[in-house]
Structure 1
Amino acid sequence: MGTAELALSQRVEVLYTDHHGWLRGLLRRKLGNAFDAADLAHDVYLQLMRTGRVPPAGESRRHLTQIANGLVIDLYRRRQIEMAYLEALALLPEPVAPSEETRALAVEALIEIDAALQSLPAKARQALLMNRLEGLAYRDIATALRVSVSSVEKYIAAGLLACYGALHGPRH
């Protein structure tokens, strides 16, 4: 471990020692569940280690709260995706329903696609969803978004590329 990594590790350790109990309590109140709170509190510190950005002492709780809020949103988004998928599966006849492993892989793929879509600019995301989910033609999408048809083509291409990258890794 190099000097920079050691210094980061020590700063995160101090932050953990000073604020971990408070952060778990905050997350437990938000989530109503001590197990999820403990998991997310752990993830907050992992994110600090990954980014290498430890806040100054006076901003620690605000910074930890900001990271935790983002992780709570991600958790709820994942759960909504999983719930929607499971509800759709419940409508299938029993012999057609996929195995537990297939379900888990599908939910993970849906979460990856959702993250890819959330990373797109709003118009690109809207264009792709209007085309794929609502079946709208490019011209109709262009009218709805008040852009040119060529912009819609670019938006949809970017959206498809992002989804492909989420499932298969980025294309080079």
Structure 2
Amino acid sequence: MPKPDPLVQRFATTFGADFLRFLGRRVRNRADARDVAQEAYVRLLRLDRKELIRDPQPYIYRLAANLVHEFELKRRADDARLTRWTQERDGDELPVESTAEAMTLRARIDDALAELTPNCRAVVILHRRDGMTYDEIAQRLHISSSMVKKYLATGLRHCRSQLRDLI
């Protein structure tokens, strides 16, 4: 078993809870905050010359802020792709090949959504297609906003994995 890195271990022990709160305020949910924190630790572990870091705390926080920015850019790009895929087009304006591709894509999206639980599917559709907020969805489905976030994360992750070859 590899020996733990003293810098990462000291930072995680001393600032770990504060670090997660810092990230939690910048991303949508705790799971995303933990993912970003883990990536920050991994990148810190990959550094060859850690001894050159004078003050590790601001260094790691800056690294994490950059990761949050990268994470948000990727999330927005993924959301934009999923939105583009789910929008229906008027078949009269498209050539036959595009119409066939759109129908195939629509069928694949429908199949991916059909594999979700009813609540999860409803949350994804209400959020992505209808543009409803977490609170509006929670009120409509009689669930908490945190459950809306969990369902949406699960549903989008599933759709991305099912449609990965198109990304």
TM-score (norm 2): 0.51
Structure 1 contact 12–48 (Cα < 8 Å) conserved: yes
- Answer 1 or 2: which has greater helix percent: 1
- The reply to whether residue 46 of structure 1 matches residue 42 of structure 2 is yes
The aligned runs of 1:1-172 (5 Å cut-off) are 6=3, 9-54=5-50, 59-92=55-88, 93-97=102-106, 98=108, 100=159, 101=161, 103-107=163-167
Letter in 2 for 1:69: A
Seen in structure 2, the aligned counterparts of structure 1 residues 75 and 55 have a Cα distance that, compared at 3 Å, is farther
Letter in 1 for 2:66: G
Structure 1, gaps ≥5 residues long: 108-172
Corresponding residue number in structure 2 for 1:170:
none
Q: Distance in 2 between matches of 1:44 and 1:24?
A: 11
Letter in 2 for 1:62: P
Structure 1 contact 27–68 (Cα < 8 Å) conserved: yes
**1:75 Cα deviation (Å)?**
0.7
Q: Deviations over 1:116-139 (max 9, x none)?
A: xxxxxxxxxxxxxxxxxxxxxxxx
Of residues 52-61 and 11-20 in structure 1, the stretch that sits farther from structure 2 once superposed is: 52-61
Structure 2, gaps ≥5 residues long: 89-101, 110-158
**1:80 Cα deviation (Å)?**
1.2
Q: Distance in 2 between matches of 1:105 and 1:95?
A: 13
Of residues 13-22 and 71-80 in structure 1, the stretch that sits farther from structure 2 once superposed is: 13-22
Seen in structure 2, the aligned counterparts of structure 1 residues 30 and 55 have a Cα distance that, compared at 3 Å, is farther
Corresponding residue number in structure 2 for 1:113:
none
Structure 2 contact 11–57 (Cα < 8 Å) conserved: no
Q: Deviations over 1:11-51 (max 9, x none)?
A: 22112211211110100112242221111111111110112
Seen in structure 2, the aligned counterparts of structure 1 residues 55 and 68 have a Cα distance that, compared at 3 Å, is farther
Q: Which has the higher contact order (CA 8 A, sep 6+)?
A: 2
Q: Distance in 1 between matches of 2:51 and 2:165?
A: 36
Q: Distance in 2 between matches of 1:60 and 1:15?
A: 8
Q: Deviations over 1:83-136 (max 9, x none)?
A: 1111211135554334644522333xxxxxxxxxxxxxxxxxxxxxxxxxxxxx
Q: Distance in 1 between matches of 2:51 and 2:17?
A: 18
% identity of equivalent residues = 19
Letter in 2 for 1:96: L
